[in-house]
C-alpha cells in the first residue's frame, strides 16, 4: 500500500539477532559505508593514539623503574664499600693509636720503692692543706749510668745525686704554677734514711743533694717536707738523656749570650749572641757553672730557670700540646727517661696532668729560688733565710698566690751577684722586711714578693 506523500514510512523493527540502532551493521539506521569510513576514522585514530601513548608510557615507566633500581643498587654498593673502608681506616688508626699509647706507657719507670718507704713514714709527713693543689718534686739526676750518660763523668757504681731539684706547685684553680729551685749546696737536716744496700744512715746536718745519694727519692722527699712543711704529692726523676731528648723534640730552644762560652767539663762551646741550642748544647748550658759569670750555683740556677721558662714558652707557642703529631716526639722523649711514683706512672696520668695545666698563661708559670744566703760556717754552702723562706713556704703550703718579680738580672751571660749582693738578691723584694707589727695600726700586712722570672720573659727579651 502506498503511503501518502510527506508521511514518513515506519521503520521496520529490527530482528532480535540484528544489531541495535547506532551499532555498526545492516539496517535502516546503518551509516553508509562511505560515511562510516569518514566518521569512524577519527575514532580509530584516537584509539590508536591512546593505545600507542599507553604503550609508550608503559615502556617509559618500565625504563625509569629499571634505572632507579640500578641507581639505588649502585648507591647501596658504594655506601657498603665506603662504610667498609671507613671501618678499616678507623680500626687501623685505633690500632696505631693503641700501639703508640702502649709504647709511651711502657717507657715510664715506676718508683714503687720510694712509695713504700714514704708510706712507712706517713705519720711524720705533713698534711695536705689545699684540696686539688699539686706539689710535684722534679729531680734532675746526675747519674752517669744508663745509655748516653757515661760521657759526662765516671760511673762510680751507679751512685747519683740530685743535680737539679725543683718543687713545682700547681694551684688548685690551675691558673698558675710556681717552680721553686732548691740549691744542691743548701745546708739542711737530712733524716735517717734507708740506703740501697739495706743499711740506714744517721740523721745529719749536711748539704741537700746528699739526701738523694743517701736514700734516693724517698729520702729527698722527706728532707724537703721536713724543712718546708709542704706535702709532696708526686715526684719525677729525669736523667741527662731525657733532658736532651726533650729539647730536640721541640727542635731546640733559643738563647742569647752576652759572652762566648767554652767549658770542657760541660762539653760546651758557644759563640756570643742569639742562637738555637740543640739537646746536647742545652744540657751543657744548664750544667755549666765555673765558666759562666761568677761561677756560682746561684747564677746557674737562674740560668736553668730562664731556660726552662723558654722551653715552656716554646711548647705553648708552637701549639705542641694541641697537635698529636708534634706532641708524640715530646711525650716519647719525656717518658723514656722518666721515673715517677705510682700516681703518675701511666700515660693517662701524665696526660691528665698536662691537660689540666696547658692553659696556664706563660706569665703565670713562675720560677724562683728558695730564699737563702751564704752559710756562716762555709761561704761555699748556702743556708735558708728563715723568715723569708717561712713566708714562701706558707704561701705554697696554703695555695696562696705567690708574686714573683724580676730580680734585676740581665740576659744570660751577664755577671751575677755574689757575697752580700747575692744575699740581698735572694730576699723577697717588696714589703717583706716589714713585719706585721711594723705596719701601721689597722693597716694590711704587706704582701711579700719574691725575686725570680716567668716563662713569658724568655731568654732573649
Q: Kindly give the confidence (pLDDT) of every residue in the chain, 461 residues in length, as a single tens digit, with 9 standing for 90 and above.
A: 444 444 444 444 444 444 444 444 444 444 444 444 444 444 454 444 444 445 444 445 555 566 666 666 666 666 666 666 666 555 555 555 555 667 777 888 999 999 999 999 999 999 999 999 999 999 988 754 555 555 554 444 445 666 789 999 999 999 999 999 999 999 999 999 998 888 999 999 999 999 999 999 999 999 999 999 999 999 999 888 888 988 998 889 999 888 898 888 888 899 999 999 999 999 999 988 877 777 777 888 888 998 998 888 888 776 677 677 777 788 888 888 889 999 988 888 888 888 888 889 989 999 999 999 999 999 989 999 999 999 999 999 999 999 999 764 433 333 333 333 344 444 444 444 443 444 444 556 678 899 999 988 877 76
DSSP state of 431: S
CA proximity to 117, closest of 199, 211, 218: 218
Looking at residue 351, its pLDDT comes to: 80
CA–CA gap between residue 117 and residue 436 (Å, rounded):
40
CA–CA gap between residue 289 and residue 185 (Å, rounded):
13
Strands 162-170 and 177-181: what pairing? antiparallel
pTM of the model as a whole: 0.70
Reduced to 3 states (helix: H, G, I; strand: E, B; else coil), residue 206 is strand
Cα dist from 73 to 64, 80, 200, whole Å: 14, 10, 80
Q: State the cell numbers at 351.
A: 696526660
Question: What residues contact 135, with CB distance under 8 A and at least 6 apart?
Answer: 167, 168, 169, 170, 230, 231, 232, 233, 234, 396
Backbone φ, ψ for residue 109 (5° rounding): -100, 130
β-bridge mates for residue 235, sequence order: 137
Q: Are 163 and 287 in contact (CB under 8 A)?
A: yes
Dihedral, CA of residue 83, residue 84, residue 85 and residue 90, to nearest 10: 80
Q: How many residues does the chain have?
A: 461
Reduced to 3 states (helix: H, G, I; strand: E, B; else coil), residue 374 is strand
Q: Are 228 and 112 in contact (CB under 8 A)?
A: no
CA–CA gap between residue 180 and residue 172 (Å, rounded):
17
Amino acid at each position: 500500500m502506498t503511503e501518502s506523500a510527506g508521511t514518513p514510512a515506519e521503520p521496520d523493527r529490527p530482528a532480535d539477532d540484528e544489531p541495535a540502532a547506532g551499532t555498526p551493521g545492516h539496517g535502516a539506521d546503518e551509516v553508509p559505508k562511505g560515511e562510516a569510513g569518514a566518521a569512524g576514522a577519527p575514532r580509530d585514530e584516537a584509539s590508536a593514539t591512546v593505545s600507542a601513548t599507553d604503550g609508550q608510557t608503559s615502556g617509559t615507566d618500565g625504563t625509569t623503574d629499571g634505572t632507579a633500581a640500578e641507581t639505588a643498587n649502585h648507591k647501596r654498593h658504594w655506601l657498603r664499600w665506603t662504610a667498609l673502608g671507613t671501618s678499616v681506616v678507623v680500626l687501623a688508626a685505633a690500632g696505631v693509636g693503641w700501639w703508640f699509647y702502649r709504647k709511651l706507657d711502657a717507657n715510664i719507670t715506676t718508683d714503687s720503692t720510694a712509695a713504700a718507704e714514704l708510706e712507712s713514714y706517713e705519720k711524720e709527713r705533713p698534711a695536705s692543706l689545699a684540696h686539688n693543689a699539686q706539689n710535684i718534686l722534679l729531680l734532675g739526676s746526675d747519674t752517669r749510668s744508663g745509655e748516653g750518660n757515661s760521657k759526662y763523668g765516671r760511673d762510680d757504681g751507679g751512685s747519683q745525686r740530685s743535680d737539679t731539684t725543683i718543687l713545682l706547685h700547681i694551684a688548685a684553680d690551675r691558673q698558675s704554677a710556681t717552680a721553686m729551685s732548691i740549691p744542691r749546696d743548701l745546708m739542711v737536716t737530712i733524716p735517717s734514711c734507708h740506703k740501697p744496700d739495706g743499711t740506714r744512715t744517721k740523721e745529719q746536718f749536711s748539704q741537700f743533694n746528699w739526701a738523694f745519694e743517701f736514700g734516693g727519692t724517698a729520702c729527698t722527699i722527706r728532707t724537703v717536707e721536713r724543712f718546708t712543711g709542704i706535702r709532696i704529692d708526686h715526684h719525677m726523676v729525669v736523667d741527662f738523656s731525657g733532658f736532651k731528648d726533650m729539647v730536640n723534640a721541640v727542635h731546640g730552644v733559643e738563647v742569647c749570650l752576652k759572652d762566648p762560652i767554652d767549658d770542657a767539663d760541660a762539653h760546651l762551646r758557644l759563640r756570643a749572641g742569639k742562637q738555637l741550642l740543640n739537646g746536647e748544647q742545652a744540657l751543657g748550658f744548664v750544667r755549666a757553672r765555673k765558666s759562666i759569670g761568677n761561677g756560682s750555683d746561684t747564677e746557674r740556677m737562674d740560668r736553668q730557670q730562664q731556660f726552662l721558662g723558654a722551653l715552656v714558652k716554646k711548647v705553648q707557642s708552637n701549639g705542641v700540646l694541641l697537635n698529636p703529631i708534634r706532641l708524640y716526639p715530646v711525650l716519647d722523649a719525656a717518658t723514656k727517661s722518666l721515673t715517677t711514683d705510682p700516681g703518675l706512672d701511666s700515660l693517662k696520668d701524665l696526660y691528665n696532668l698536662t691537660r689540666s695545666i696547658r692553659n696556664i698563661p706563660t706569665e703565670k708559670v713562675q720560677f724562683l729560688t728558695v730564699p737563702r744566703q751564704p752559710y756562716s760556717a762555709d761561704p761555699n754552702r748556702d743556708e735558708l733565710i728563715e723568715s723569708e723562706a717561712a713566708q714562701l713556704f706558707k704561701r705554697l703550703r696554703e695555695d696562696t698566690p705567690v708574686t714573683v718579680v724580676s730580680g734585676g738580672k740581665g740576659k744570660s751571660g751577664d755577671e751575677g751577684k755574689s757575697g752580700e749582693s747575692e744575699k740581698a738578691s735572694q730576699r723577697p723584694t717588696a714589703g717583706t722586711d716589714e713585719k706585721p707589727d711594723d705596719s701601721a695600726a689597722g693597716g694590711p700586712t704587706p704582701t711579700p714578693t719574691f725575686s725570680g722570672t716567668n716563662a713569658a720573659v724568655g731568654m732573649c727579651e
